[in-house]
A and B are shown apart, each in its own frame.
Chain A
Amino acid sequence: MNMSITQILFWFLSALAVFSAIMVVTRKNPVFSVLYLIITFFAISGHYILMNAQFLAIVNIIVYAGAIMVLFLFVLMLVNLNKESEPHKGKYMLWSGALAGGLFMFVMIAALQTLAPTMVQGIGKGDIGLIQNLGKALFNEYVVPFEISTILFLSAMVGAIVIGKRDHA
């Protein structure tokens, strides 16, 4: 069978994303979970590039892998977990949780069996994901939500500082 380079990249990135997502859930040490989650985000960014959504790929790397994950790492170092402080749930709870997640996946996939086959355009086709097009849309039609999101960020910053203050007045 001859696979094109796009298909090879798709399967590689999918396998990488699923593998590191499983590692996020199963690792006992939370630092390894953070590092595997960064790998998952990079794989998802690769998927965005494969779908020619370059703006979202860059934003995903900057915001998620760059900012949010660094924040997670900072908090992990701040709370200084040692080995004994990670308690393990009972086997019963563990298996019922895994069973619930697996059944959810089974139901969602089984519900999709009647879908008509359609192809998603690959890399280099369709320019809606490029920065030029999205910037025009963002600053013409969606400029009010954009400004509201700045207020959201300001309130989140104030809220984080107020919550994180050591003594509450």
Chain B
Amino acid sequence: MPIEYYIYLAVILFSIGVTGVLTRRNAIVVFMCIELMLNAVNLLMVAFSKLHHAKALVSDAATTTGSEAQIFVFFIMVVAAAEVSVGLAIIVMMYRNVYNVDINFLNRLKN
């Protein structure tokens, strides 16, 4: 498939995630939209790694150029898993304090 189609798909998914973060007030749904944006970026990165590999394959048949990007995507997933565990703990703590997961309650942090 042409690379443009992957770019369009990733941009559409990322924009849906941005729209969700801007319009929803449930903190858990906002967090899920952030995960959606992370996945859109991962998809685009894998597509570009395949493209980079195909370019390098012309001159060298045994090259592994492009595997760095896939390792990088793997580390993005690792960091996302750690981030989710801490973020959900924060949401649970917020629910214990205010009995709600509305992000507008978080503006009490400033006092």
A109 → chain B, closest Cβ, in Å? 6
Check B49 against A128 for contact (C-beta < 8 Å): yes
CA of A79 to CA of B57, assembled, Å: 52
Check B89 against A18 for contact (C-beta < 8 Å): no
Q: Looking at chain B's contact residues, is the secondary structure mostly helix, strand, loop, or mixed?
A: helix
Q: How many residues of chain A get a CB closer than 8 Å to chain B's CBs?
A: 84
- Which range contains the number of B residues in contact with the other chain? 35 or more
B24 → chain A, closest Cβ, in Å? 7
CA of A156 to CA of B80, assembled, Å: 11
Chain B CB within 8 A of A100 CB: yes
Check A120 against B78 for contact (C-beta < 8 Å): no
CA of A37 to CA of B40, assembled, Å: 12
Chain A CB within 8 A of B84 CB: yes
Q: Which residues does A use to contact B, with CB under 8 Å?
A: 6-7, 10, 14, 17-18, 21-22, 24-25, 30, 33-34, 37, 40-41, 44, 47-48, 50-53, 55-56, 59-60, 63-64, 67-68, 71-72, 75-76, 78-79, 81, 85-89, 93-94, 96-98, 100-102, 104-105, 108-109, 112, 115, 117-122, 126, 128-129, 133-134, 137-138, 142, 145, 149, 152-153, 155-157, 159-161, 163-164, 166
Question: Can you list 9 A-B contacts with CB-CB less than 8 angstroms, sorted by A residue number?
Answer: A25-B33, A75-B88, A87-B102, A87-B104, A105-B15, A120-B6, A126-B50, A128-B53, A129-B50
